[in-house]
Amino acid sequence: MALVDTLLPEFDNEMAVTRRVLERAPEAAFSWRPHDKSFTLGGLCTHISQIPRWGVAILLYDGYDTATSAGTRNAEKTALADVLTTFDGFVKDSRAKLLAATDGELMVPWSLKRDGAIVMSMPRIAAFKSFAISHLIHHRGQLTVYLRLQNVPLPPIYGPTADEGI
Protein backbone atom coordinates (compact mmCIF):
# COMPACT_ATOMS: atom_id res chain seq x y z
CA MET A 1 0.00 0.00 0.00
CA ALA A 2 1.30 3.44 -0.93
CA LEU A 3 1.93 5.86 1.93
CA VAL A 4 -0.51 8.38 0.45
CA ASP A 5 -3.26 5.77 0.81
CA THR A 6 -2.74 5.76 4.58
CA LEU A 7 -3.00 9.54 4.86
CA LEU A 8 -5.64 10.46 2.28
CA PRO A 9 -8.72 9.12 4.15
CA GLU A 10 -7.78 11.12 7.25
CA PHE A 11 -7.07 14.23 5.18
CA ASP A 12 -10.40 13.98 3.35
CA ASN A 13 -12.37 13.41 6.56
CA GLU A 14 -10.73 16.22 8.53
CA MET A 15 -11.14 18.69 5.67
CA ALA A 16 -14.84 17.81 5.24
CA VAL A 17 -15.50 18.14 8.98
CA THR A 18 -13.60 21.43 9.12
CA ARG A 19 -15.61 22.84 6.24
CA ARG A 20 -18.87 21.96 8.04
CA VAL A 21 -17.63 23.81 11.14
CA LEU A 22 -16.45 26.82 9.12
CA GLU A 23 -19.86 27.02 7.40
CA ARG A 24 -21.43 27.71 10.81
CA ALA A 25 -19.34 30.82 11.52
CA PRO A 26 -21.64 33.83 11.81
CA GLU A 27 -20.25 36.53 9.54
CA ALA A 28 -21.94 39.23 11.63
CA ALA A 29 -19.68 38.21 14.55
CA PHE A 30 -16.38 38.10 12.62
CA SER A 31 -14.99 41.03 14.65
CA TRP A 32 -15.84 39.35 18.00
CA ARG A 33 -13.10 37.80 20.11
CA PRO A 34 -13.43 35.92 23.42
CA HIS A 35 -10.36 37.58 24.92
CA ASP A 36 -8.02 40.47 24.09
CA LYS A 37 -5.20 38.01 23.29
CA SER A 38 -7.39 35.80 21.09
CA PHE A 39 -8.00 35.83 17.37
CA THR A 40 -11.21 37.49 16.27
CA LEU A 41 -13.74 35.00 14.95
CA GLY A 42 -12.98 36.20 11.42
CA GLY A 43 -9.24 36.00 12.05
CA LEU A 44 -9.53 32.44 13.31
CA CYS A 45 -11.66 31.45 10.31
CA THR A 46 -9.13 33.12 8.00
CA HIS A 47 -6.26 31.25 9.64
CA ILE A 48 -8.07 27.91 9.40
CA SER A 49 -8.92 28.53 5.75
CA GLN A 50 -5.22 28.92 4.96
CA ILE A 51 -3.78 25.99 6.92
CA PRO A 52 -4.25 23.43 4.10
CA ARG A 53 -1.75 25.38 1.97
CA TRP A 54 0.92 24.04 4.32
CA GLY A 55 0.39 20.67 2.66
CA VAL A 56 1.44 22.06 -0.71
CA ALA A 57 4.44 23.89 0.74
CA ILE A 58 5.63 20.81 2.63
CA LEU A 59 5.44 18.67 -0.50
CA LEU A 60 7.14 21.30 -2.69
CA TYR A 61 9.96 22.53 -0.44
CA ASP A 62 12.44 20.90 1.92
CA GLY A 63 11.62 23.23 4.80
CA TYR A 64 10.31 26.51 6.13
CA ASP A 65 12.19 29.22 7.94
CA THR A 66 10.00 31.18 10.35
CA ALA A 67 12.42 34.12 10.32
CA THR A 68 11.65 34.89 6.67
CA SER A 69 7.98 35.49 7.45
CA ALA A 70 8.16 36.81 11.00
CA GLY A 71 5.56 39.45 11.62
CA THR A 72 3.63 38.81 8.43
CA ARG A 73 0.00 37.79 8.47
CA ASN A 74 -2.51 37.60 5.67
CA ALA A 75 -5.39 40.05 5.72
CA GLU A 76 -8.33 38.90 7.78
CA LYS A 77 -11.31 37.94 5.66
CA THR A 78 -14.58 39.72 6.34
CA ALA A 79 -16.92 37.45 4.37
CA LEU A 80 -17.67 33.80 5.08
CA ALA A 81 -17.86 33.12 1.34
CA ASP A 82 -14.23 34.27 1.01
CA VAL A 83 -13.17 32.03 3.89
CA LEU A 84 -14.85 29.01 2.29
CA THR A 85 -13.48 29.77 -1.19
CA THR A 86 -9.95 30.08 0.21
CA PHE A 87 -10.31 26.88 2.22
CA ASP A 88 -11.71 24.92 -0.72
CA GLY A 89 -8.93 26.09 -3.02
CA PHE A 90 -6.13 25.18 -0.63
CA VAL A 91 -7.74 21.81 0.17
CA LYS A 92 -8.01 21.04 -3.55
CA ASP A 93 -4.39 22.05 -4.21
CA SER A 94 -3.04 20.19 -1.19
CA ARG A 95 -5.00 17.02 -2.03
CA ALA A 96 -3.79 17.07 -5.64
CA LYS A 97 -0.17 17.49 -4.54
CA LEU A 98 -0.58 14.67 -2.00
CA LEU A 99 -2.06 12.34 -4.64
CA ALA A 100 0.90 12.99 -6.91
CA ALA A 101 3.50 12.29 -4.21
CA THR A 102 5.51 9.08 -4.31
CA ASP A 103 6.53 7.12 -1.24
CA GLY A 104 10.08 8.34 -1.77
CA GLU A 105 8.98 11.98 -1.88
CA LEU A 106 6.90 11.53 1.28
CA MET A 107 9.91 10.14 3.15
CA VAL A 108 12.27 13.03 2.24
CA PRO A 109 13.19 15.03 5.35
CA TRP A 110 11.41 18.35 5.86
CA SER A 111 12.69 20.91 8.36
CA LEU A 112 11.22 23.78 10.32
CA LYS A 113 13.94 26.38 10.81
CA ARG A 114 14.51 29.66 12.59
CA ASP A 115 17.21 31.90 11.12
CA GLY A 116 18.63 28.86 9.31
CA ALA A 117 18.87 26.71 12.45
CA ILE A 118 16.79 23.53 12.37
CA VAL A 119 14.09 23.56 15.05
CA MET A 120 12.69 20.19 13.98
CA SER A 121 13.09 17.77 11.12
CA MET A 122 10.88 14.88 10.09
CA PRO A 123 9.80 13.00 6.97
CA ARG A 124 7.47 15.03 4.75
CA ILE A 125 4.56 12.67 5.48
CA ALA A 126 4.92 13.41 9.22
CA ALA A 127 5.22 17.15 8.58
CA PHE A 128 2.14 17.04 6.35
CA LYS A 129 0.16 15.28 9.07
CA SER A 130 1.41 17.63 11.77
CA PHE A 131 1.17 21.00 10.02
CA ALA A 132 -1.65 20.46 7.51
CA ILE A 133 -3.91 18.14 9.52
CA SER A 134 -3.19 18.26 13.26
CA HIS A 135 -2.64 22.02 13.22
CA LEU A 136 -6.00 22.39 11.48
CA ILE A 137 -7.70 20.13 14.04
CA HIS A 138 -6.26 22.24 16.87
CA HIS A 139 -7.69 25.48 15.47
CA ARG A 140 -10.97 23.82 14.53
CA GLY A 141 -11.29 22.93 18.21
CA GLN A 142 -10.80 26.59 19.07
CA LEU A 143 -13.45 27.51 16.53
CA THR A 144 -15.98 25.17 18.12
CA VAL A 145 -15.50 26.99 21.43
CA TYR A 146 -15.98 30.34 19.68
CA LEU A 147 -19.14 29.04 18.03
CA ARG A 148 -20.49 27.68 21.32
CA LEU A 149 -19.88 31.09 22.93
CA GLN A 150 -21.88 32.63 20.06
CA ASN A 151 -24.71 30.11 20.65
CA VAL A 152 -24.15 28.52 17.25
CA PRO A 153 -25.19 24.82 17.06
CA LEU A 154 -22.19 22.58 16.44
CA PRO A 155 -22.20 19.93 13.72
CA PRO A 156 -21.03 16.37 14.39
CA ILE A 157 -17.25 16.09 14.36
CA TYR A 158 -16.16 12.67 15.67
CA GLY A 159 -19.64 11.79 16.81
CA PRO A 160 -22.81 13.58 17.83
CA THR A 161 -22.65 16.94 19.55
CA ALA A 162 -25.05 18.36 22.13
CA ASP A 163 -26.76 20.03 19.15
CA GLU A 164 -26.85 17.36 16.44
CA GLY A 165 -26.62 13.62 15.99
CA ILE A 166 -24.76 11.87 13.24
* Predicted pLDDT at 61: 95
Q: For residue 73, what pLDDT band results from cuts at 50, 70 and 90?
A: low
- Chain centroid to CA 81: 17
The average pLDDT across 115-127 equals 96
CA 156 to chain centre: 18
Does the pTM surpass 0.85? The reply is yes
d(CA 116, CA 62): 13
Q: Decide: 25 and 61 in contact? Cβ < 8 Å.
A: no
Domains and CATH numbers, the chain: 3-67+77-149 (1.20.120.450)
Burial environment of residue 140 by CB neighbours within 10 A (0 to 12, 13 to 18, 19 or more): buried
